Amino acid sequence: DAGITQSPRHKVTETGTPVTLRCHQTENHRYMYWYRQDPGHGLRLIHYSYGVKDTDKGEVSDGYSVSRSKTEDFLLTLESATSSQTSVYFCAIKYNTGELFFGEGSRLTVL
Amino acid sequence: GQQLNQSPQSMFIQEGEDVSMNCTSSSIFNTWLWYKQDPGEGPVLLIALYKAGELTSNGRLTAQFGITRKDSFLNISASIPSDVGIYFCAGQLFPGAGSYQLTFGKGTKLSVIP
């Protein structure tokens, strides 16, 4: 157990509404990541963080923002959700050895 | 962005058979990781490889880090029904741009016929 939890685990929302997903870790790791997983695309990096208030974009960052105000929490926000953002979102933390450990995922449906 | 070519995309095998899957890239990686994902869950790390040529086993699983640093394979021996799932390879680029990110293959979906 890598001590990583995601919330909510499931959410249904309407187009145009804001959505925030939370990733919480208990092990004080520096690097945290948000991925989305879609059929045919595998896991794609949205944003990542390399420390408090330090974040950077991944390959599919458009339409998403992140914040990391404290080490243990990494928030992913969809300012105005669209149907194309229906997906399963995974948070991950990186150990010093380079290995990523994933949360259980947050399934988001945008109607 | 960087891409990993993972093959096969899917495979159906009989219980007891051995399985082999691989990933190739045009870029050099300094770390290769293999994950398994069960339905409704997050990917779980199976094996991590850190050196070119490294061969590592985890029970019935064996993975190797290619000598060229551009490929890796995963073998599963004597498959059982609980091996069903999607297997992902992931690589971390040689230190430099993007070295804090992992690049993932698109996965190999394994089905085991009892």
Residues A21-62 have pLDDT tens digits of 999 999 999 999 999 999 888 899 999 999 999 999 998 999
Over residues A54-77, the mean pLDDT reads 96
Contact call for A104 and B90, based on CB within 8 A: no
Contact call for B45 and A99, based on CB within 8 A: yes
Tokens of A49: 């963080």
Nearest chain A residue to B43 by CA: give it. A102
- In a 3-state reduction of DSSP, which class is residue B28? coil
CB A49 within 8 A of CB A109: no
Residues of B in contact with A31 (CB under 8 A): 100
- Summarize pLDDT for B8-60 with one digit per residue, the tens: 999 999 999 999 999 999 888 889 999 999 988 999 999 999 999 999 999 99
pLDDT of A70 above 60: yes
Looking only at the bridges linking them, the beta strands covering A19-25 and A42-51 are unpaired
Over residues A79-97, the mean pLDDT reads 94
CB A104 within 8 A of CB A91: no
Report percent pLDDT > 70 for chain B. 92
Q: What is the DSSP letter of A15?
A: T
Classify each residue of B72-104 as buried b or exposed e, where b means 16 or more C-beta atoms within 10 Å of its C-beta.
bbbebeebeeebebbbbbbbbbeeeebebbbbb
Q: What is the DSSP letter of B113?
A: E
Tell me which residues of chain A have a C-beta less than 8 Å from any C-beta of chain B: 31, 33, 40-45, 48, 50, 58-59, 90, 94, 97-105
Q: Give B22's Cβ-side CA count (13 Å radius).
A: 11
Tokens of B38: 């069960």
Q: How many residues are there in chain A?
A: 111
